[in-house]
Structure 1
Amino acid sequence: MTIDLRLSGGRIATPHGVVDADLLVSGERIAGIVSRETAVDAARTIDVTGKLVLPGMVDVHVHTREPGYTHKEDIRTTTEQAAAGGVTTIFGMPNLDPPTTDTATLRDVFGMYERSSIVDYNHNPAPTKLDEVVAMSEMGIRAYKIYMVVDTGRTYPHPAGTGMHDHGHLLQLMDIIATTGKRFIIHPHDQALMDYIEGEILARGENTPQGYATAYAAREGVIWDTAIDVVLRLAEASGCPIHIAHIQTPRSIEAVRRAKANGVDVTCEVNHWAPFLSTWDDVERLGPYALSYWLPDENRAAVWEGMRDGTIDIASSDHAPHTREEKEVGWTEMWSAHTGTPGIQYYYPLMLDAVNKGQLTLDRVVDMVATQPAAAFGLEGVKGVLEVGADADIVVADLNAPWTITNDGVLSRIEWTCYDGREISARIDRTFVRGHEVFADGVVTGAPGTGKLALSSTDREGNAR
């Protein structure tokens, strides 16, 4: 056996628990997990004594901003941050210009990834053109994405062509997607209720970060809860596998818990801002830079509990970069600001820091960032796990490495992070994508074009033939 890489002396997070062993890589796949004493002739050996060897993060919710909004970000800068943050596979989102809604725009976007991505990738098109849905599925996508929202006072980040709100249309779409076997990612939102709630707050002159935060959490999160109840019932009626973005209220988490118990094929995600950036102090201190959304204390407590008990399956960043100029307007006109926060570079380290603080177990973190997203989105056995035959998507992390996140270390084109000044205890040391080192010792070493389209094992076999 030819061994290209041996990671020696570390503790490996396997599907059966953490083991003291060495990890072997041959070509682009994991070739073995062996005892320290096993004699192997390896082309390269890296001493990772005292470190954790983890599966790379599979981030199914990433806004690359390319094409159309590359003044904010692009695929290269997004995937540089991914490599630095231990993310080895990203799924891009369709709210681009032009939006990804058909085979032509999807083919163009895949070409951009092929030229520029440092990590592996896929893309979630918006299935708003019904006659294009099946054809896009056949191009290798793992999921679709729709927004049940219309922006108030702006046309971005939810541009025309990416939204669908009528319940009949949603059910029709779920019926079609169900035939493809792919998962349907839904940004839940009750637009009619939001129009009323926003109207009341704006009529009082509260076009501020505090007013915006209050609107989206109003009446115990009613805009989220009613939308998610509808989505879960339609999923049950159609048999369509669904994935709920932005889970954040106790009632919604409980609704997902019940749906799972009743056999509905539903997964849901927690984004970086919910556990780590959603307090009222964050809103007061950072204003538009913290929004995304505000979670009242009881909501945040429910999110942490859902993460711990497995109701919330998946951690995905919702990486959503905007320039300072697009944020600054929000101090006085929040409904004109672009909402969303960058997060892909720091989410995995923040999750590992939560392990050190006793807020999550390491098993839960690995499950949420890697194993579950791979399994739910058709990459089981290929991504998200350290076992023989899987892609060598590997992260070496040091859980005893205190450091401070600063704007100076940001690799995003926007050059700021909402976590500037935050001290954490865990650091990503190295990242490998299919055995290729793309980040080491604080430097992105991967080249644009290193990444490949992430396909299921079945699709890979078909391509090989």
Structure 2
Amino acid sequence: MTIDLRIAGGVVVTPSGPTTADLLVHDGRIAGLVAPDVAVDSDRTIDATGRLVLPGMVDVHVHTREPGYEHKDDILTTTRQAAAGGVTTIFGMPNLNPPTVDVETLTDVFERYGSTSLVDWNHNPAPTKFDEIVPMAEMGIRAFKIYMVVDTGRTYPHPAGTGIHDHGHLLEIMDRIAGTGVRFIVHPHDQALMDYIEGRYLARGENTPQGYASAYAEREGVIWDTAIDVVLRLAEASGCPVHIAHIQTRRSIEAVRRAKAAGVDVTCEVNHWAPFLSTWKDVETLGPYALSYWVPDDNRAAVWEGMRDGTIDIASSDHAPHTREEKEIGWTEMWSAHTGTPGIQYYYELMLDAVNRGELTLERAVDMVARIPAEKFGLAGTKGTLEVGADADVVIADMQHEWTITNDDVLSKTGWTPYDGRTISTRIERTIVRGRDVYADGAVVGEPGYGKLAAAPAELAAEAAGTEGN
């Protein structure tokens, strides 16, 4: 038999560890790993000598901005950035216009992905319409998402219809989700505490990046810690598998560590800004362009420790693009600026650069960006690992390529990155989705509409059986 593709000469990072081998790809899946001297007929060979051959990133937290906010980004531009950044599967978020809260809006979003996405995809609707939870789960989603936050001074990025603040409603949602087999992503936030805290800053006229950053981090991050404590207790009470977004405080990490030890089905994520873009210097020099959030030094040290010891399971980008105009107002009216930062294009490379700096092992980095998100979000066996039978979602990276990130390379409609001017030591050279190049030789080469729904293995088998019966 002649296979479709041989990736030759590289070090392949498998679930068992790095190994010098050639990766064989056929019909969009990994067909085998062989020694470099084993003869196999192939239609195409990629020379990966001196490179790492890695699984593609599974990014479960991506804001595509479509529909409703396409002036920031859309599915096509987001997945162009994903392809360039080694991300082979994205999960979109529900804070759209209209928000994704029912079968009708989810169907529309699925159709949009299907026509324009370069990479594989799924979507996390908000379970705020209780009767829509089970029907949406039956459409093949792998997670729901809600926000425990109301925006002050703006209506975005947390629009009406995507938030739950009443703890009784939150428990009812968890009870309903628990039987669906999908995970529940929660943006934690204690709104009552935040109303009091930020009110004091605004009353003093501290409507600045420094004031905003300080408010959200006040009292060692109390608004995050209390909310996460509630979520963890309700997860235990309901048996609902939960995923904590935006983990960033020492106490929150300790709480997740204790919950896991007690048997609670909880995962948590670190977004690009926490380890790489959250210092006070970033706040002072980049202002609104660095916010998301400020993570004080002791909390950042706890984040890194949680990444290293596995308490923090997953690295997901929280890619959140906004235009310069939406950011610039933040220099004088930060509570009116749209918060969040673009991150999908460079997160994998930043994680690999951290490996070179000795801050993470290669195994932990790959687990966080690929294996664990696939496993915990129901895609084990198809996504997240380089093993026989899995989708051939492959990244080839040069670990000894020093270069400087600039705004000129940004593929987002926003045209900027908070990492402009930062020099790193690794470069992704090629991204492959199901055996087909979507990024190669410095250019996005994927075709709009090539990406497909990333479904659980059982769903794929059922789909295949249905096709064979027709």
| TM-score of Structure 1 vs Structure 2, range by shorter chain | over 0.9
* Partner Cα distance (1:25, 1:181) in 2: 31
What's the CA shift string for 1:65-90, capped at 9, x where partnerless?
00000000000000000000000000
The match for 1:142 is 142
The match for 1:434 is 434
SS at match of 1:342: coil
* Partner Cα distance (1:462, 1:131) in 2: 25
The match for 2:468 is none
Shift of 1:45: 0.5
Shift of 1:2: 3.0
Gaps of 5+ in 1: none
The match for 1:53 is 53
The match for 2:458 is 458
What's the CA shift string for 1:114-139, capped at 9, x where partnerless?
00000000000000000000000000
Amino acid at match of 1:303: V
The match for 1:404 is 404
1:363 paired with 2:363, answer: yes
* Partner Cα distance (2:28, 2:322) in 1: 35
1:130-209 alignment to 2 at 5 Å?
130-209=130-209
The match for 2:423 is 423
What's the CA shift string for 1:391-422, capped at 9, x where partnerless?
00000000000000000000000000000000
* Partner Cα distance (2:318, 2:208) in 1: 23
The match for 1:350 is 350
User: In terms of mean alpha carbon deviation, does 353-362 or 1-10 score higher?
Assistant: 1-10
* Partner Cα distance (1:345, 1:34) in 2: 31
* Partner Cα distance (1:462, 1:94) in 2: 27
What's the CA shift string for 1:258-291, capped at 9, x where partnerless?
0000000000000000000000000000000000
Amino acid at match of 2:75: I
SS at match of 1:54: strand
* Partner Cα distance (1:340, 1:460) in 2: 34
What's the CA shift string for 1:195-220, capped at 9, x where partnerless?
00000111110000000000000001
The match for 1:232 is 232
1:112 paired with 2:112, answer: yes
Amino acid at match of 2:314: I
* Partner Cα distance (1:397, 1:292) in 2: 28
SS at match of 1:140: coil
Amino acid at match of 2:11: R
1:354-393 alignment to 2 at 5 Å?
354-393=354-393
1:38-117 alignment to 2 at 5 Å?
38-117=38-117
Shift of 1:148: 0.2
Amino acid at match of 1:54: L
* Partner Cα distance (2:81, 2:341) in 1: 14
The match for 1:446 is 446
Amino acid at match of 1:463: E
* Partner Cα distance (2:268, 2:454) in 1: 21
* Partner Cα distance (2:464, 2:13) in 1: 30
* Partner Cα distance (1:308, 1:179) in 2: 32
* Partner Cα distance (2:191, 2:29) in 1: 46
Shift of 1:463: 1.1
SS at match of 1:80: helix
* Partner Cα distance (1:45, 1:393) in 2: 16
* Partner Cα distance (1:423, 1:217) in 2: 28
SS at match of 1:460: helix
* Partner Cα distance (2:341, 2:442) in 1: 23
* Partner Cα distance (1:288, 1:32) in 2: 48
* Partner Cα distance (2:302, 2:426) in 1: 25
The match for 1:315 is 315
* Partner Cα distance (1:135, 1:45) in 2: 44
1:210-289 alignment to 2 at 5 Å?
210-289=210-289
What's the CA shift string for 1:39-82, capped at 9, x where partnerless?
00000011110000000000000000000000000000000000
State the superposition RMSD in angstroms: 0.4
The match for 1:329 is 329
Poorly superposed stretches of 4+, deviation over 3 Å:
none
SS at match of 2:283: helix
Shift of 1:464: 1.4
What's the CA shift string for 1:290-326, capped at 9, x where partnerless?
0000000000000000000000000000000000000
What's the CA shift string for 1:141-199, capped at 9, x where partnerless?
00000000000000000000000010000000000000101100000000000000000
Shift of 1:425: 0.3
Q: TM-score, normalised by structure 2?
A: 0.99
* Partner Cα distance (1:411, 1:119) in 2: 15
Shift of 1:441: 1.1
SS at match of 2:104: helix
* Partner Cα distance (1:371, 1:47) in 2: 25
Q: Percent identity?
A: 77
* Partner Cα distance (1:173, 1:31) in 2: 41
- What is the aligned length? 465
SS at match of 1:118: coil
1:18-37 alignment to 2 at 5 Å?
18-37=18-37
